[in-house]
Amino acid sequence: MKPVAAIDCGTNSTRLLVMGAAGETLVRQMVITRLGEGVDRQRRLAPAAIARTVAVLARYRAVLDDYGVQRVRVTATSAARDATNRDDFFTAATSTVGVAPELLSGDEEGQLSFAGAVSSLGAVTPPGPYLVADIGGGSTELAAGPAPDGGATSAPLATAVRSLDVGCVRLTERYLHHDPPHTEELEAARAEVRRQLGDAFAEQPALAEATTLIGLAGTVAALAAIEQGLEVYERDRVHHYRLRRASVERLLGELAAIPAPQRRQRAGVEEARADVIVGGAVVLAELMAAAGHDECLTSESDILDGLAATLRS
């Protein structure tokens, strides 16, 4: 079997995974392109944001060619779901990659994230059931389900999925208007996350009944890196790091107290994420409080792994 690949065009970042015939990772790349810049307010993808993302897709196309990839899935999520001009991006992306992007629903996104995270637990094997939280730029997908059957050959399925319209970019653009944010702005952002979590847990109680919380995406990885003081990203130290709720609250307080230029000086903070990491930390802090989890297991296996697995089955 030849290598397969998955590309995820998210609200904040555009990511690539190339997986080998045995399921091994050959390439994993991420570039913050901010495709969803201004979408929450304008309901349109900005031409500059489309251009930034398509430029990265062109680089990814070259990687696919280098590895002889013939099967690839390209997906778009929250920003594209909200944008009235998503076809402008889809047309350019299709021309660049040679594959038409798939517009995922929130439920589809949550299921793929659950499959990617839970399938990679391996020797960690924390007790189930699991709550997988994929904190993106425009939305946060929550997916809960049992531990997979050890003999199962298919991807694990979540039994409850909910997509929330809160993410690091959306919360920042909607509530955090000053840098650093004012106290009342932070409280308004936290209140909105609490409201949406309350609705989700009331409608799907299984989301609040999980034993283990698994956190995905850039905000969670960045907080794990900051907590460890990592000057350079080290996947092995971030993947399956146990991030405590007290640490999340402390880091949120520290990052919210300083402007973005000073956040960029913190080890573990990517330059392009410094302006939105406070919004993402708000989501994680409120989720851990609402669901009653004192610990979050960080996972670097996510929707990309779920997507690539569908091409190998």
Question: What pLDDT, on a 0 to 100 scale, did the predictor assign at position 171?
Answer: 97
Q: 181, exposed or middle or buried, with CB in 10 Å at 0-12, 13-18, 19+?
A: buried
Q: Where are the domains of the chain?
A: 4-104, 120-298
Question: What pLDDT, on a 0 to 100 scale, did the predictor assign at position 52?
Answer: 97
Please list the pLDDT of the chain residue by residue as tens digits (313 residues): 799 999 999 999 999 999 998 889 999 999 999 999 999 999 999 999 999 999 999 999 999 999 999 999 999 999 999 999 999 999 999 999 999 999 999 999 999 999 999 988 887 788 889 999 999 999 999 999 998 776 555 678 999 999 999 999 999 999 999 999 999 999 999 999 999 999 999 999 999 999 999 999 999 999 999 999 999 999 999 999 999 999 999 999 999 999 999 999 999 999 999 999 999 999 999 999 999 999 999 999 999 999 999 998 7
Two tokens, residue 38: 């201004």
Question: What pLDDT, on a 0 to 100 scale, did the predictor assign at position 153?
Answer: 54
Domains 4-104 and 120-298 equal at CATH topology level: yes
By DSSP bridging, strand 71-76 and strand 102-103 are: parallel
d(CA 255, CA 252): 5
pTM, 2 dp: 0.94
What is the third-level CATH fold of 4-104?
Nucleotidyltransferase; domain 5 (3.30.420)
Two tokens, residue 306: 């779920």
Q: Find where tokens 């094997």 sit.
A: 125
Q: Which CATH number fits domain 120-298: 1.10.3080.10, 3.10.180.10, 3.30.420.150, 3.40.50.2300?
A: 3.30.420.150
| Tally of CB atoms within 10 A around 239 | 16
Can you say how many angstroms the Cα of residue 208 is from the centroid of all Cα atoms in its chain? 20
What is the DSSP annotation of the chain?
A: ---EEEEEE-SSEEEEEEE-TTS-EEEEEEEE--TTTTHHHHSS--HHHHHHHHHHHHHHHHHHHHTT--EEEEEE-HHHHH-TTHHHHHHHHHHHHSSPPEE--HHHHHHHHHHHHHHT-GGG---SSEEEEEE-SS-EEEEEEPPPPTT--SPP--SEEEEES--HHHHHHHH--SSSPPHHHHHHHHHHHHHHHHHHHHH-GGGGS-SEEEEESHHHHHHHHHHHT-SS--HHHHTT-EEEHHHHHHHHHHHHTS-HHHHTTSTT--GGGTTTHHHHHHHHHHHHHHHT-SEEEE-S--HHHHHHHHHH-
Q: Is the dihedral of CA 249, 252, 257, 258 positive or negative?
A: positive
Two tokens, residue 160: 């409850």
